[in-house]
């Protein structure tokens, strides 16, 4: 009886997990996997720090990160001061911006968030924060209806413009297909389904159409198909590498001591294993003569 109950409980939990995963996949753009090997690549981290200072630190601060911590990724004080310190006077100062918060709110509608722990804040059951950032920075497309001229497949109607457009390209289209249920106005019962397609050409000009779908075996979902980016200084593979470098630095910045903790954790586990063995043998020695 207990075994039967346990089997049913496990089956129900598995079904619930599969359903929640399917709903999460349908509810948003699927995350691409960030290449985690970048986190141990010192050259990639240094490149990411340079990209962060040049492209992100204009609007986003990183107030929990001090410039002198960049020594952890192999940069000396001279390199930090001469190449990366544009908003501070001393190497021990945090990475703040000169822009006034009131001006930022007026220009962008909201204060750009601090990026100190953004890689940790964006983690979810769909993937790590690194996965989210890696996908987000690679899924911009042109949308002339937006004030910035850009939109994002992962974060629809985001207020942030595509700051890396000169690297990826200033022309990119997209197609958004959304399947919607048609319901009876009186009863609310589903009477059919339609597919609503919104298309953006590489310059962001919008067109749309709606067509009925035959049959009733459909479900509501949204699919975004991005076009090829054009006009950038980098090709797609090079741009992906560049974004991976930037995300590697953002991930490092959100937890600078991660490598030290992992290395220490290995020694702690080894110590616990050895201590457990010694304690087991001592216990056997103490109790061997006790009947």
118 and 149 share one domain: yes
182 and 142 share one domain: no
| Residues found in the chain | 291
Number of domains in the chain: 3
Give the model's confidence band at 134: pLDDT under 50 very low, under 70 low, under 90 confident, else very high.
Answer: very high
Confidence at residue 182, expressed as pLDDT on a 0 to 100 scale: 85
- Residues 6+ positions from 16 with CB-CB distance below 8 Å: none
Give the residue-averaged pLDDT of 210-239: 90
pTM, 2 dp: 0.79
Confidence at residue 20, expressed as pLDDT on a 0 to 100 scale: 39
From 110, 87, 112, 111, select the one nearest 98 (Cα to Cα). 87
204 and 155 share one domain: no
Give the model's confidence band at 280: pLDDT under 50 very low, under 70 low, under 90 confident, else very high.
Answer: very high
Confidence at residue 25, expressed as pLDDT on a 0 to 100 scale: 38
User: Are the C-beta atoms of residues 154 and 135 closer than 8 Å to each other?
Assistant: yes
User: Are the C-beta atoms of residues 107 and 100 closer than 8 Å to each other?
Assistant: no
265 and 143 share one domain: no
Give the residue-averaged pLDDT of 211-223: 84
145 and 221 share one domain: no
Q: Is residue 8 part of a domain?
A: no
Residue tagged 């992100």 (tokens):
56
Report the C-alpha gap between 57 and 197 in whole angstroms: 37
Give the model's confidence band at 187: pLDDT under 50 very low, under 70 low, under 90 confident, else very high.
Answer: confident
Instruction: Give the ranges where the chain is alpha helix by DSSP (H).
Output: 2-27, 42-51, 77-83, 101-108, 118-121, 129-136, 165-168, 236-254, 258-287
Does residue 263 or residue 70 have the better pLDDT? 70
Give the model's confidence band at 111: pLDDT under 50 very low, under 70 low, under 90 confident, else very high.
Answer: confident
Domain assignment of residue 179, given as a range:
173-227
187 and 266 share one domain: no
58 and 27 share one domain: yes
Residue tagged 């294993």 (tokens):
273
115 and 239 share one domain: yes
69 and 202 share one domain: no
- pLDDT at residue 8 greater than cutoff 50: no
Q: Is residue 4 part of a domain?
A: no
Give the model's confidence band at 7: pLDDT under 50 very low, under 70 low, under 90 confident, else very high.
Answer: very low
- pLDDT at residue 117 greater than cutoff 80: yes
Give the residue-averaged pLDDT of 100-124: 84
Q: Is residue 11 part of a domain?
A: no
Query: In the chain, helix, strand, coil percent, each to 5?
Result: 45, 20, 35
Long-range own/partner contacts, residues 238-241 (CB < 8 A, 24 or more apart) = 239/138, 239/164, 239/167, 239/168, 240/138
Q: Is residue 124 part of a domain?
A: yes
277 and 180 share one domain: no
- pLDDT at residue 84 greater than cutoff 90: no
- pLDDT at residue 275 greater than cutoff 90: yes
């Amino acid at each position: 009886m207990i075994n039967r109950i346990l089997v049913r409980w496990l089956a129900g939990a598995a079904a619930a997990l599969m359903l929640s995963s399917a709903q999460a996949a349908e509810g948003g753009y699927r995350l691409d996997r960030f290449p985690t090997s970048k986190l141990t690549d010192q050259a990639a981290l240094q490149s990411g720090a340079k990209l962060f200072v040049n492209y992100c630190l204009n609007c986003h601060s990183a107030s929990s990160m001090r410039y002198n911590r960049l020594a952890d990724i192999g940069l000396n004080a001279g390199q930090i001061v001469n190449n990366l310190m544009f908003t501070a006077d001393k190497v021990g100062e945090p990475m703040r911006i000169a822009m006034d918060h009131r001006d930022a709110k007026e220009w962008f509608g909201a204060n750009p968030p601090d990026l100190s722990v953004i890689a940790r804040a964006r983690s979810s059951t769909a993937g790590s924060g690194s996965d989210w950032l890696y996908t987000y920075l690679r899924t911009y497309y042109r949308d002339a209806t937006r004030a910035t001229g850009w939109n994002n497949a992962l974060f629809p109607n985001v207020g942030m413009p595509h700051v890396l457009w000169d690297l990826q390209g200033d022309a990119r289209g997209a197609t958004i297909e959304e399947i919607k249920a048609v319901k009876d106005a009186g009863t609310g019962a589903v009477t059919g389904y339609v597919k609503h397609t919104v298309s953006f050409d590489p310059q962001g000009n919008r067109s749309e159409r709606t067509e009925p779908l035959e049959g009733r075996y459909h479900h509501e979902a949204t699919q975004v198909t991005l076009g090829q980016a054009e006009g950038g200084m980098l090709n797609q593979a090079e741009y992906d590498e560049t974004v991976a470098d930037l995300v590697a630095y953002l991930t490092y910045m959100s937890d600078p001591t991660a490598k030290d903790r992992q290395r220490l954790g290995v020694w702690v586990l080894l110590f616990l294993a050895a201590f457990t063995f010694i304690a087991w043998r001592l216990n056997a020695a103490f109790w061997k003569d006790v009947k």
